[in-house]
């Protein structure tokens, strides 16, 4: 099976409750799609997986926004920070004027990291399982 590291890390995130259940086959399809799209950033190491993407601002198709879709690390390491930096660099290269990152509630170290890196808290996301 291709994308073994990606699937392993994603399944760890699923086990943590960070994302919904998924089959190996659907994850395989997902990573195949991600790696084939030029508007998707994906980086996977032994301990970290990061997926981000580009889209246009609503109402102004000339402005590009870069957004974290999924970031999971087995443990906080310099490796995960290098992957984060690669995403920021890729976003700039793609012409993005802004990056949006998310953190789960109860993760103050992540919030501190974003603030240290120059990010401002601008919204709260609510979800409801159906």
Q: Where are the domains of the chain?
A: 39-116
Most confident segment among 35-49, 82-96, 101-115: 82-96
Which residues in 1-130 belong to E strands, given as ranges?
Answer: 40-44, 48-57, 60-73, 96-100
pLDDT at residue 84 tops 70: yes
The pTM of the full predicted model, rounded to 2 decimals, is 0.82
CATH of 39-116, one of 2.70.98.10, 3.30.360.10, 3.40.630.30, 3.40.50.12780: 3.40.630.30
pLDDT of amino acid 1: 59
- Cβ atoms of 31 and 47 closer than 8 Å: no
Structure tokens at 126: 């609510």
Half-sphere exposure in the Cβ direction for 56 (13 Å, CA): 5
């Amino acid at each position: 099976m291709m994308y073994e590291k990606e699937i392993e890390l994603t399944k760890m995130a699923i086990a943590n409750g960070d994302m919904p259940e998924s089959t190996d086959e659907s994850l395989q399809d997902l990573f195949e799609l991600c790696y084939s799209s030029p508007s998707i950033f994906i980086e996977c190491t032994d301990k970290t997986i990061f997926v981000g993407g580009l889209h246009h601002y609503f109402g102004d198709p000339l402005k590009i926004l870069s957004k974290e879709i999924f970031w999971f690390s087995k443990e906080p390491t310099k490796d995960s920070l290098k992957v984060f930096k690669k995403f920021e660099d890729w976003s700039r290269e793609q012409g993005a004027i802004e990056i949006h990152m998310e953190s789960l509630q109860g993760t103050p170290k992540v919030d501190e990291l974003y603030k240290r890196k120059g990010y401002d808290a601008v919204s709260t996301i609510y979800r409801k399982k159906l």
